[in-house]
Amino acid sequence: MPARRVKFTFPESLIKEPIIYLLGKEFKVITNVRMADVDEHTGWVVLELEGDHEEIDRSIAWAQARGVRVDPAGGDVVEG
């Protein structure tokens, strides 16, 4: 099954929201957290999303619509 490695960065307003739990419930996507650092002000989670391409795309769009910044896990691919 296709998988995508992404980094979610949460603004302070979303720190208390169970975003990853809800994402797994709303979409047919398996979430697999590998690294994270969250405090009361901000936080990031590196995770793998596994599922159909379209479903992963939809789940990412859903997270972005809620205010989560989503980036490729290894940093920007486009360089100067």
Residues that bind other proteins (CB under 8 A): 4-5, 7, 9, 34-35, 37, 39, 42-44, 46, 48, 69, 71-80
- Which amino acid is present at 37? D
CB of 2 to other proteins, least distance (A): 10
CB of 75 to other proteins, least distance (A): 3
Q: Which of 40, 61, 53, 77 is nearest to 4 (CA)?
A: 53
Grouping H, G, I as helix, E, B as strand and the rest as coil, residue 66 is: coil
**Between 1 and 42, CB nearer to other proteins:** 42
Question: How far is 54 from 78, CA to CA, in rounded Å?
Answer: 23
**Between 13 and 80, CB nearer to other proteins:** 80
